[in-house]
Chains A and B, each alone.
Chain A
Amino acid sequence: MSAQNTGTDDQTTLTTDTAALAGELFAPGVGAQAGPPTTPAPGTGTAGDTPPGAHSHGGPAPTGSPAERFTSTDPDAFPRPTGREEEWRFTPLRRLRTLLDGAPSTTRLQWDTDLPEGVELTSVPAGDPLLQGLPEPVDRLAALTRRYSDGADVLRIAKEAVLDRPVSLRLSGTGSEDVVWGQLVVEVGQFAQATVVLDHAGLARYSGGVAFLLGDGAQLTVVSVQEWAPGTVHGGQYDAVVGRDATLKQVVVTLGGDLVRLVSNVQYAGPGGQADLYGVYFADESQHQEHRLWVDHATPHCRSYVVYKGALQGEKAHTVWIGDVRIRPAAIGTDTYELNRNLVLTDGARADSVPNLEIETGEIVGAGHASATGRFDDEQLFYLCSRGIDAETARRLVVRGFFADVVQHIGIPALQDRLMATIEARLGALPDLEEQPVEVV
């Protein structure tokens, strides 16, 4: 089921598929190949005797099941993107060339950190076993990033540490012409509880990989804010490996920059894991914001919950949301739901939304997705107006609420207030909000 929208659709459509029909969708045995690594193993090896799905050119033969994801640390193992590939077909490659053709560089973002007790920030050189055990890049840009970042920064949260405040990493672009390559590994020890904020600002050409490795029972909240200056190009691959009974909450907030393309992958290293992936984005004139998610359920009794909401305004504002969720045969007891909502505020903007759920076992708790792209919800506007609230204020309340609904999951009031203020300022710039009649279509 996929829902796409050109931005001219002014009807709110909601399509929900609750797919408990896996038995009918997949013949027995089909798609029963090895899953991804269930633990980040040293070297390129994985749990099991086959490499993770189509891990290299010599990987397992196709099985006729939904496409395996090709991964490699070698950039040249990926063809140069032409724009026809599934993973690049929505991306304006011309604007990403600065990164795709980028040369190695030692330029870094400026780091301003606040590290509470229980947290260590260090680094490892290229070739360190830690890096070899990370989930592999899923596209050429991510592979280039892994290679050129030449080692990694490592944030370690001690086992059982319960941090008294969020870890704040403020990463600012300095305006350099050079591409900045970065790799960060966040290791969260067993039963630790932490919040990590990656707060991106300034002007940069940046490609950053971030891996989150959650030990058993760990609870990690990750907030990634993209409040880049205009002109910034940001590509990134976020990988989470969720340990047994561990909980990941990721909140991605993309507001600034010229082009932002973030790929978030989740895999589970043991049963009982949970991943809540929230996102909000707001694209203005000519901004391209692309969020691609890939949740790979290969382990029993794990949960995933995805909610991404975006608004678009202005000519050539373009957002892309791809939500791939795969439930492999071994992942019995899986519970997953994903939702993408797009609010198209003006003509000329385009929101692409493609949820994709592949289910290879019938023994699941639940699996569903919904995608809707449209204008304001007129019933909400009517409700507010029927209480005396003028149409303009009602629209602001609805849009504000649309975002607040996700932003409130961050759990850091000061940051939430800051982001909502930014969003409100952006809404204030909306030219013809006043003129739009309240109309139920």
Chain B
Amino acid sequence: MTSPTTAPTASGTDAGSVLEIRDLHVTVGEGDDAKEILRGVDLTVRGGETHAIMGPNGSGKSTLAYSIAGHPKYTITGGTVTLDGEDVLAMTVDERARAGLFLAMQYPVEVPGVSVSNFLRTAATAVTGQAPKLRTWVKDVRTEMEALEMDSAFAERNVNEGFSGGEKKRHEILQMRLLKPKVAILDETDSGLDVDALRVVSEGVNRAKADSPVGVLLITHYTRILRYIKPDFVHVFVAGRVVEEGGPELAEKLENEGYAAYVKDSNEQAKLEASQG
């Protein structure tokens, strides 16, 4: 294993961190099938800030999230991603997590035969660099599960196996709470949640924000989660790049007017680029 020399541990930071994404280009597929999904993303997320990313289906929001986390399906063809100046793109998937990045996935993966408790403890050990003390660990897990209104029986179940959509999302936020990242990317954590679950999950994120200056990149289609988790910035994401930025009021505008205007602009620009190229 490569040792994470470039990856300081996530714990023990007081000052906020900075995640900087510069002109990020990403493709999926190989060879002739390669398709550019991200077409020059620029974004800076500072510790303590909450950024909402809103955009139509297929615009590349999950691609951005996965590319930052290091999913090997995506090929970075240009640009940089740094966390506190460290080159994130040079790190392995696990090093990125240990450096303080966290991705709450849109579709969390089932891992048969691996219990939640074993998984959480292994992850916490990896991220903090030492096995957590059993007594405090058990208490921490229990407290957070209660806060997220998760039955303690989940600890003995297999990771995400047979979990409902809402249970999977709570489990993602449970991990965020226990792993204490510097920057958390929440990919549609609100989808598929009923009103109660949305509140419970949002409160989990807000507790994380209160505990430490975590930077939050919140990918969503709806403003309803933004009533619980207040964004400082809203970015409109269309066809693989950020096309507009603003404050919380932008979210309201998007909810009322949709993305039609941005999509049209983006199409025209794509045509222009094609004719130039």
Are B113's CB and A390's CB within 8 A? no
Our pick among A383, A389, A392 for the contact of B105 (Cβ within 8 Å) is: A383
Question: Does B72 lie within 8 Å of A386, measured CB to CB?
Answer: no
CA distance A12 to B112 in the complex (A): 15
**How far does the Cβ of A381 sit from chain B's closest Cβ, in whole Å?**
8
CA distance A170 to B94 in the complex (A): 44
A76 at the interface (CB under 8 A from B): no
The answer to whether the Cβ of A397 comes within 8 Å of any Cβ in the partner chain is: yes
Of the listed stretches B35-43, B45-53, B122-130, chain A binds: B122-130
- A349-399, CB < 8 A from B: 378-380, 382-394, 397-398
Q: For the complex, would chain B's binding face be called helix, strand, loop or mixed by DSSP majority?
A: mixed
Residue B272 CB within 8 A of the other chain: no
With an 8 A cutoff between CB atoms, is B70 at the interface? yes
| Chain A residue, CB-CB nearest to B100 | A388
Distance from A401 Cβ to chain B, minimum over Cβ atoms (Å): 3
Q: Is B92 in contact with A438, judged by CB distance below 8 angstroms?
A: yes
- Nearest chain A CB to B35's CB is how many angstroms away? 16
- A403 lies within 8 A of chain B by Cβ: yes
Q: Is A440 an interface residue (CB 8 A)?
A: yes
Within 8 A of A (CB), among B98-121: 98, 102-103, 105, 108-114, 118-119
Alpha-carbon distance A402/B158, docked complex (angstroms) = 11
How many B residues face the partner with a CB closer than 8 A? 32
B179 at interface, CB cutoff 8 A: yes
Known A-B contacts A382-B93, A404-B113; A440 and B73 likewise in contact (beta carbons under 8 Å): yes
Q: How far is the CA of A434 from the CA of B113 in the complex (A)?
A: 22
User: Does the CB pair A391–B92 fall under 8 Å?
Assistant: yes
- Say whether A438 contacts B122, CB under 8 Å: no
Minimal beta-carbon separation of A421 from chain B (angstroms): 15
B111 near A389: Cβ-Cβ < 8 Å: no
Do B112 and A388 have beta carbons less than 8 Å apart?
no
A385 near B113 (CB under 8 angstroms)? no
CB distance from B216 to the nearest CB of A (A): 17
Chain B residues with Cβ below 8 Å from A401 are 111-114, 158
Contact of A379 among B97, B109, B126 (CB under 8 A): B109
Closest to B7 in A: A388
Tell me, yes or no, whether B1 is within 8 Å of chain A by CB.
yes
> Closest Cβ of chain B: how far from A383's Cβ, in Å?
4
Most buried by A among B112, B118, B126, B159: B112
In the assembly, what is the distance between CA of A376 and CA of B166, in Å?
A: 27
Proximity string of chain A (427-441) to chain B, C-beta cutoff 8 Å, 1 when within and 0 when not: 000000010001110
B113 near A387 with CB under 8 A, answer: no
Complex-state Cα separation, A33 to B219, whole angstroms: 61
Known A-B contacts A393-B122, A401-B158; A388 and B98 likewise in contact (beta carbons under 8 Å) = yes
Interchain CA distance A403-B102 in the complex, whole Å: 29
A316 at the interface (CB under 8 A from B): no
Q: Determine if B123 and A388 form an interchain contact, defined as CB atoms under 8 angstroms apart.
A: yes
Choose among A379, A385, A392, A397 the residue that contacts B114 (Cβ–Cβ < 8 A). A397
Would you mind naming 16 contact pairs between A and B with Cβ atoms under 8 Å apart? Answer: A380-B109, A383-B105, A383-B109, A385-B93, A386-B71, A386-B97, A386-B105, A387-B97, A388-B94, A390-B94, A391-B1, A401-B112, A404-B113, A404-B114, A434-B1, A438-B93
Additional A-B contact list (6), CB under 8 Å, known A384-B123, A386-B96: A380-B109, A384-B119, A387-B97, A401-B112, A439-B72, A440-B71
